[in-house]
């Protein structure tokens, strides 16, 4: 059928007919953007298609380049087609008397209702995005293109309306099949939960799932969306000499004569990896400490995992690996340890253990499931209904209870906090799930206790140290990866944070007042009122300090002069009132034990109501202690501050120095300790990490990256760049980024140290880049970190603007990324209360704290560029202080041994283009030779 004909064979079907549809538009706003294409598929009660419709639409406005690139539709394609109003009228006729189906239907329906409110205003729609998130909770992605791949649904033209509509119809059929294959008791529960939200969600579980003629079985769906077991077949194990030195054994296994070259297609011999593995092995044999900086490409994960595995095998003793990020933790267990399982004749028993908040608490889940699905104002909350349905499906298939299996987004993150395992709401051995071995957190800890090698994270390592081994048990060897974050992790773990929602959560989990007149009811009501008062007063105080409407986010250290201010008396009075009220409520909770003050149905274990009351009492006492320490009586060796985040007030406290605590509770507990990272040394010295972590008596090893940075990377210093704090800097930076992006056709990452400059440069780049055919993606503006990174990887003709989380932890290989622009040197924020408190402890705060921290951070940012031996690109350093301040030398000494060019601002794009595409670089500037010669070796080997 010609796409512009508007013709179709209209079927006057029954109300049971469905129409799956999709719109392509010029943008995201129904107010300012237009529809450019409509596609629809009509299908009957048997879920088989009976008719199709495809219409191009003339939006009477230019189609943005990003949309043209996505859909393949140009202005010429839609010229002369039906107007949006005419096309929508034809679509309304096509779907008259049917039930609508769409993927992400809220978006499409907003455009439909804006054009034809009488036909589409308040019209319900079955949303396959919502249904897929519920019924396929562990699918890697719920986007329509990726779901179609996972479920093997034909989708020949993604982002064309008819193809998307046909795929949506096929997905709907699959989702019906999945729902109908659920266990009967589970489906009954899901129907009961969905009934709280009358509409398409309730109708789907109540009636649509009774349809017959589904196209797929639940087994077929499960086999597609379930994660496959890691590993790809056994590797040829090598029998090592049990009596050979540990260092020699690991070198043999990792070397060119070992099993890896013939079993791993990606194997590359790395001398630095052999050196590191030998050093780790010697540290284990000697029972000593080791600091290792291993540059990008060394392969440090296998370099420490293999010696640990062999050591546990030979000694029968246990080892722990701790990472900062969950991403690395999962990589070690899902990839690197799988390699060892096939590499060693007798592989160690391994386990991954995360913090308890990563596991669902079945007891808290049961309480949440039984609670009304209503928001703070009493109305049904669809987000809560969807979340309950999703977890019901997930719990029927998970064996770990680990939230990483789920894709949580938006409100799901907040709702997860109501069901996650937390110490302050855990009955411990008194919990029925604990006794019956159903508790996921306990199961994970038991598995870890039986493992020879445990992979965990910094936070849990430190929690174990606080409890003297109650979490991880005894172990004798420890490797801390991403160790440049260890001080930060310890500060967070040993500190405290309190928000109003934390206190309300304790009160709310006890349910509504029994009669409103009892001592306990009145005490809890008073605690709620005191919470509103104290956090309201803190918010008001912060708004005054920050200046009216600009207080959406901000931090205020509680220095002596702040506490001495007359207005602070309001906080002191409110704080004392909250402390007394919380303690009174805690006493009332303890006194109420044995009296059944609440309905038994509120609790999963009614016989344990007294334990529930005791838990709540302890939580209120802990909250009172935080308020007292932060606002009334600050502790020595600690810093306290107030913070506004998303316009909500928070109280914070943290230790100023964690070195002694780390030394005593972490390092002194084990025989062998290895701290490693790609960025650990400053100017060839480990003095900074030693002073901040308290590790003493450690040997040192610095292993440079095996990459040829002189050939692969160029550092560019633009001349004429305004200082970052002067007028004209934002415009100059935007012009610079635009010039580079045009030369490279995107492929550019711009790193900022704050969100405000990112927003300003994003606004300056938008129209200019659109005219050049290049997209601009800003973190927090065009999506989350994960979303904008995925967009960049999918379409490298993009400039990606990122803040702090983009300085490390992203791995973009190949020519997808050819240039990293660093807007400003990443010095710590001088007004940060912790930074200020720590600065008072040292003789020279700049050289002892701020400079080393910035150097390590800059090394991380630089490390985003070269991730493989064949990568090539440029790093443009836009902070003029690198060439005007003496401390610029410290940064150059720390960066990889790359080429350096100092060129006028207007020539940067050409220089970057010449280097990226032709390998041509200008000679290093003569005036920089004294500064960088020692670091780069240019005296003997010019770039």
The single-letter DSSP state of residue 696 is -
3-state secondary structure of 39: strand
3-state secondary structure of 929: helix
- Residues marked active site are found at 159
Could you give the CA distance from residue 285 to residue 247 in angstroms, rounded to a whole number? 9
Strands (E), 618-763: 638-645, 648-655, 672-677, 698-703, 713-719, 748-751
**Which pairing describes strands 638-645 and 554-557: parallel, antiparallel, or unpaired?**
antiparallel
3-state secondary structure of 248: helix
3-state secondary structure of 493: helix
**Which pairing describes strands 713-719 and 672-677: parallel, antiparallel, or unpaired?**
unpaired
Angle at 515 between CA 510 and CA 519, to 5 degrees: 75
3-state secondary structure of 323: strand
Cα-based torsion angle of the residue sequence 688, 691, 694, 698 in order, rounded to the nearest 10 degrees: 50
Could you give the CA distance from residue 901 to residue 50 in angstroms, rounded to a whole number? 65
Task: List Cβ neighbours of 321 (8 Å cut-off, separation of 6 or more).
Answer: 304, 305, 308, 332, 453, 454, 455, 456, 478, 479, 480, 481
| 906 C-beta neighbours (distance < 10 Å), count | 13
Q: Is 883 exposed, middle or buried (0-12, 13-18, 19+ CB in 10 A)?
A: middle
Residues 13, 98 contacting (CB under 8 angstroms):
yes
Could you give the CA distance from residue 381 to residue 376 in angstroms, rounded to a whole number? 9
3-state secondary structure of 648: strand
Look up residue 144 and give its two tokens.
Answer: 């329509």
Could you give the CA distance from residue 821 to residue 177 in angstroms, rounded to a whole number? 50
Q: Is 646 exposed, middle or buried (0-12, 13-18, 19+ CB in 10 A)?
A: exposed
3-state secondary structure of 756: helix
CA distances from 806 to 51, 376, 688, 785, 793 (A): 47, 35, 23, 8, 14
Residue positions counted in the chain:
943
Residues 805, 864 contacting (CB under 8 angstroms):
no
Closest Cα partner for 134 from 45, 60, 194? 194
CA distances from 244 to 284, 482, 691, 784, 877 (A): 14, 31, 37, 51, 49
Look up residue 636 and give its two tokens.
Answer: 């020595």
3-state secondary structure of 233: coil
Closest Cα partner for 247 from 292, 288, 304, 327? 304
Could you give the CA distance from residue 941 to residue 56 in angstroms, rounded to a whole number? 61
The single-letter DSSP state of residue 386 is H
Could you give the CA distance from residue 181 to residue 201 in angstroms, rounded to a whole number? 17
Angle at 64 between CA 59 and CA 70, to 5 degrees: 100
Cα-based torsion angle of the residue sequence 792, 794, 795, 796 in order, rounded to the nearest 10 degrees: 60
Could you give the CA distance from residue 42 to residue 21 in angstroms, rounded to a whole number? 9
């Amino acid at each position: 059928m010609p796409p512009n004909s508007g013709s179709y064979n209209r079927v006057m079907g029954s109300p049971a007919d469905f129409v799956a549809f999709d719109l392509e538009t010029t943008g995201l706003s129904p107010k300012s953007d237009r529809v450019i294409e409509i596609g629809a598929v009509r299908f009957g009660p048997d879920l088989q298609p009976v008719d199709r419709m495809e219409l191009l639409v003339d939006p009477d406005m230019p189609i943005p380049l990003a949309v043209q690139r996505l859909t393949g539709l140009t202005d010429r394609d839609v010229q002369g087609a039906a107007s949006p109003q005419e096309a929508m009228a034809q679509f309304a006729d096509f779907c008259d008397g049917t039930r609508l189906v769409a993927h992400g239907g809220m978006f499409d329906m907003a455009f439909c209702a804006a054009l034809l409110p009488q036909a589409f205003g308040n019209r319900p729609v079955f949303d396959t995005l919502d249904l897929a998130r519920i019924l396929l909770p562990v699918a890697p992605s719920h986007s329509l293109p990726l779901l179609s791949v996972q479920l093997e649904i034909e989708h020949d033209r993604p982002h064309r309306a008819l193809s998307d509509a046909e795929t949506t119809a096929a997905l709907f059929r699959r989702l019906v099949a999945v729902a109908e294959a659920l266990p009967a008791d589970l489906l009954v529960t899901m129907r009961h939960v969905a009934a709280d939200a009358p509409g398409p969600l309730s109708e789907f579980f109540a009636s649509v799932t009774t349809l017959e003629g589904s196209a797929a079985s639940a087994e077929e769906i499960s086999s597609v969306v379930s994660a496959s077991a890691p590993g790809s077949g056994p590797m040829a194990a090598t029998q090592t000499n049990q009596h050979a030195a540990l260092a020699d054994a690991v070198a043999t296994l990792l070397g060119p004569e070992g099993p890896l070259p013939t079993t791993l297609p990606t194997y590359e011999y790395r001398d630095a990896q052999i050196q590191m593995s030998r050093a780790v092995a010697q540290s284990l044999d000697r029972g000593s400490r080791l600091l290792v900086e291993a540059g990008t490409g060394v392969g440090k994960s296998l370099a420490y995992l293999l010696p640990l595995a062999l050591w546990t095998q030979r000694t029968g003793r246990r080892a722990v690996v701790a990472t900062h990020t969950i991403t690395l933790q999962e990589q070690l267990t899902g990839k690197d340890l799988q390699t060892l399982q096939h590499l060693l004749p007798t592989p160690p028993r391994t386990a991954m253990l995360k913090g308890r908040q990563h596991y669902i608490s079945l007891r808290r889940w049961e309480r949440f499931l039984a609670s009304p699905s209503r928001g703070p104002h009493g109305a049904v909350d669809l987000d809560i209904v969807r979340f309950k349905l999703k977890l019901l499906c997930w719990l029927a298939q998970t064996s770990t209870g680990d939230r990483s299996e789920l894709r949580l987004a938006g409100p799901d993150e907040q709702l997860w906090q109501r069901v996650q395992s937390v110490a302050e709401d855990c009955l411990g051995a008194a919990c029925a799930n604990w006794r019956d071995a159903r508790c996921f957190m306990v199961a994970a800890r038991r598995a870890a206790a039986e493992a020879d090698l445990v992979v965990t994270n910094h936070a849990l390592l430190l929690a174990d140290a606080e409890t003297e081994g109650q979490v991880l048990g005894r172990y004798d060897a420890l490797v801390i990866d991403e160790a440049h974050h260890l001080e930060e992790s310890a500060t967070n773990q040993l500190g405290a944070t309190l928000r109003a929602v934390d206190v309300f959560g304790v009160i709310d989990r006890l349910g509504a007042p029994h009669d409103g007149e009892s001592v306990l009811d009145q005490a809890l009501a008073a605690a709620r009122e005191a919470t509103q008062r104290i956090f309201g007063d803190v918010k008001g105080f912060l708004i005054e300090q920050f200046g009216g409407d600009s207080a959406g986010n901000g931090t205020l250290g509680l220095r002596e002069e702040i506490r001495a201010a007359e207005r602070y008396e309001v906080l002191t009075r409110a704080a004392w009132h909250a402390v007394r009220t919380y303690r009174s409520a805690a006493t009332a909770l303890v006194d109420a034990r044995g009296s059944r003050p609440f309905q038994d149905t509120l609790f999963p274990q009614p016989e344990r109501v007294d334990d529930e009351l005791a838990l709540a009492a302890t939580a209120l006492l802990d909250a009172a202690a935080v308020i007292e320490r932060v606002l009334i009586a600050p502790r020595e060796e600690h810093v306290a501050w107030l913070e506004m985040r998303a316009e909500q007030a928070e109280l914070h406290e943290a230790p100023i120095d964690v070195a002694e605590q780390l030394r005593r509770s972490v390092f002194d507990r084990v025989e062998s300790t290895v701290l490693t990272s790609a960025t650990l040394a400053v100017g060839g010295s480990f003095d900074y990490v030693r002073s901040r972590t308290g590790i003493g008596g450690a040997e040192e090893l610095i292993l440079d990256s095996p990459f040829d940075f002189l050939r692969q990377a160029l550092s560019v210093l633009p001349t004429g760049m305004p200082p970052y704090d002067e007028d004209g800097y934002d415009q100059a930076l935007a012009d610079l980024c635009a010039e580079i992006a045009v030369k490279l056709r995107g492929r550019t990452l711009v790193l900022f140290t704050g969100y405000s400059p990112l927003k300003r440069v994003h606004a300056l780049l938008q129209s200019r880049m659109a005219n050049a055919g290049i997209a601009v993606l800003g973190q927090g503006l065009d999506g989350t970190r994960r979303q904008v990174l995925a967009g960049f990887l999918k379409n490298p003709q993009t400039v990606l603007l990122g803040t702090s989380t983009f300085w490390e932890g992203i791995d973009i290989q190949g020519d997808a990324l050819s240039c990293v622009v660093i807007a400003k040197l990443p010095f710590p924020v001088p007004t940060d209360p912790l930074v200020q408190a720590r600065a008072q402890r040292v003789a020279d705060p700049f050289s002892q704290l701020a400079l080393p921290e910035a150097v390590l951070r800059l090394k991380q940012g630089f490390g985003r560029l070269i991730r493989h031996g064949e990568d090539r690109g440029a790093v443009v350093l836009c902070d003029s202080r690198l060439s005007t301040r003496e401390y610029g030398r410290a940064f150059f000494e720390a960066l990889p041994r790359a080429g350096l060019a100092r060129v006028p601002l207007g020539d940067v794009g050409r220089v970057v283009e010449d280097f990226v595409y032709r390998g041509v670089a200008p000679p290093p500037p003569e005036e920089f030779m004294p500064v960088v010669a020692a670091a780069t070796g240019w005296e003997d080997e010019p770039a």
